Structure 1
C-alpha cells in the first residue's frame, strides 16, 4: 500500500490482533470457531518500490482514473485533432488527521506518479454546491508518457470495464503512432467514441478469465 489509507489499514490490523488476544481464552463455541479461522497479521511498511514494478497503479486507476479520446476542430484551421489522455485525479488530503492535527497529503504519491510518467502534477479547486473540492491531477497526453501508460497497462491489466476503454484507447494510439495523419484513423476514433466511457453499452469480461 502506498497511500495515506495505510493508516486505516493498520488500525484494522491492530483491531484484529487485539480481538485475537482478548478472546484467546473464550469458551464460546462461536468465538472459538472464529479464532480457528484467523491469525495475527503483520503490519508491513509503506510500499516504496518502483511504480512500474507491480500492479498497484492498475488498481488505483480502476478506481480513480479514466482514458479520454478528445476529437475537436483546430482553431482557424480546416482540420480535426484527436488527442488521447490518461487522467488520474484524487483529493489533495486524506480525511484522517495525525496526532498533531495535520491531514496527510496525497501530493508525495502523485509527485512520484508524475515523475514516473514525466508529466506535471496539477492542483485543482472546484466549487460544487457551496463546497470547495481540492484535488491533484496527473495527465498523460504526450508521446512519451502515453507510451509508458501502454507499457504499464499491457503488463498489469485493469480489471474493471475500464480495461475495455483502455484497449480502445490504446488501439487509436497505435494507429496514431503508425500514421500521424489524422484522417487515416479519424473514422475509427469517431466510431469508438460512440461506445466508450460513459456511453459504453458493449461489455464483455473475457479479460477476467484465467
Structure 2
C-alpha cells in the first residue's frame, strides 16, 4: 500500500492476530479448525517504490481517476478544439487514523509522487457541499509529455474495470491527434466516441480480462 489507508490494513491485521491468540485455547472444535488455517500476519511498511514499478496506480485509477474528451469552440477563432485529459482527485487527509498507527495522515506525499511521475502540477482545492468543506488534491495530464507517460504506464499495467474501455477510446483519439494535428480530421470520430464514453457508455465488453496480467 502507498497511502495512509495502510493504517486500516494494520488495524485489521492486529485484530486477526489478536483473535488467533485470544482463541488459541478454545474448546470449540470448529473454532480451532478455523484458527489452524490462519497464519499470523506481518505488517509491512508503506510502499515507496517508483510509481512505474508496479500496477498500484492502475488500481488507484480504476477507483478514482477518469479520462475525458473535451470538445469546445475556440472563443477567438472559428474552429473547434479537442482536448484530452487524465484526471485523478483524492482527498487531502486520511480521517480515520487511530493511534498507535503512526503514519503520515496526508495524501500529499503520494499525489506529489504521482505528479512527478506524470510531469504535472499538483492542485489543491476546497469545495463547500451542503455546508461541509471537502479538501482534495488533483493531478491533470494534458500536455504531450504527461499524456505519453499515461499511455506508456497503462499499456504496461492495464486497467481492469470498464474504465479500460474509456482509456482505449481516449487513446485512439490521442493517436489520431498525433497522426494529424488538424482537428477536423478526427472531430467526427471524437464526437461519436463521446456519445458512448464514461457515464454515457452503454457498450461493454470484457475481453481485456482474458489476458489480465494478474492471472499470468
For normalisation by structure 1, the TM-score amounts to: 0.96
Mark the CA change 1:19 to 1:105 in structure 2 (over 3 Å): closer, same or farther.
same
Query: 1:44, CA displacement in angstroms?
Result: 1.0
Q: In structure 1, what is the equivalent of residue 157 of structure 2?
A: 156
Runs of 4+ in structure 1 over 2 Å off = 96-103
Q: In structure 2, what is the equivalent of residue 35 of structure 1?
A: 35
CA distance in 2, matches of 1:129, 1:46: 34
CA distance in 1, matches of 2:7, 2:208: 32
SS at match of 1:2: coil
1:59 aligns with 2:54: no
SS at match of 2:94: strand
Query: 1:206, CA displacement in angstroms?
Result: 1.1
CA distance in 2, matches of 1:99, 1:161: 37
1:68 aligns with 2:68: yes
Q: In structure 1, what is the equivalent of residue 214 of structure 2?
A: none
CA distance in 1, matches of 2:4, 2:97: 10
Q: In structure 2, what is the equivalent of residue 94 of structure 1?
A: 94
CA distance in 2, matches of 1:77, 1:48: 47
SS at match of 1:111: helix
For residues 110-144 of structure 1, what are the alpha-carbon distances to aligned partners after superposition, in whole Å with 9 as ceiling and x for unaligned? Answer: 01011111100000111111111110000000000
| Conserved 8 A contact 1:62-1:160 | yes
For normalisation by structure 2, the TM-score amounts to: 0.93
Q: In structure 2, what is the equivalent of residue 178 of structure 1?
A: 179
CA distance in 1, matches of 2:181, 2:110: 34
CA distance in 1, matches of 2:173, 2:122: 25
- The unaligned stretches of length 5 or more in structure 2 are 212-216
Q: How does 1:103-118 map to 2 (within 5 A)?
A: 104-118=105-119
Q: In structure 2, what is the equivalent of residue 16 of structure 1?
A: 16
SS at match of 2:95: strand
Q: In structure 2, what is the equivalent of residue 168 of structure 1?
A: 169
1:49 aligns with 2:52: no
CA distance in 1, matches of 2:99, 2:18: 21
Aligned length: 210
What is the RMSD computed on CA atoms of the aligned residues? 1.6
CA distance in 2, matches of 1:198, 1:115: 29
For residues 4-55 of structure 1, what are the alpha-carbon distances to aligned partners after superposition, in whole Å with 9 as ceiling and x for unaligned? Answer: 0011101111111111111112221220121122111111111011000000
